[in-house]
Structure 1
């Protein structure tokens, strides 16, 4: 019995390749595109060219931490300090500094720099 060969347990022949199972294609249908009516086109054109609407550039926070879209702004004049601006706008100095991402060690601002004035209190994290 020791001299008999061992029979393999798998049922495939050596060197036989089994093809992978093919996926069934899915048919995707797109709804038809409805063209605009003349009235809709005229209304859209009027909205784009209406001179009455003022388009203001949206103020963008460079670090995306705050919403500057509804803030008052102040352009720094020569000789003004951040403290002067905070006092004139009844805002805490540290809140104004944090809201505008100004270095807390120097509080340095420059003439013609735009300072955004928050319209509600700004929570300043400890150590910031």
Structure 2
């Protein structure tokens, strides 16, 4: 087997490994984005929890207002983190698509080279068979 085929096989393996690694990163990033979404939903639920109807003391109302303000600050922070995570996920998706295309390109070139090598081997084998057949035919013609 020619050296170019073995080199292409190595390149395909490297590209496949890269695609697999990026797929893992994308999966992890999707999970992170989902965690942010879950956090935001849970925090929103905390922020809208109604106050007890009987507790209308000023101190209690101030405490609840401060609590909601802090929860809202955390929600905003989580939304920022989620936006950054979404951007990173999109970047990973683009990289994955690019690497998958590169891998497929190398696979196609490898398949073409293998086919070409097999065709050349078949042609060479056919020439050898034809030469042997010709020699055999010539011997039979001489013997007559």
For Structure 1 versus Structure 2, the TM-score category normalised by the shorter chain is under 0.3
Q: Normalised by the size of structure 1, how large is the TM-score?
A: 0.23
Question: Which structure has greater strand proportion?
Answer: 1
TM-score by length of structure 2 reads 0.21
Structure number with the higher helix fraction is: 2
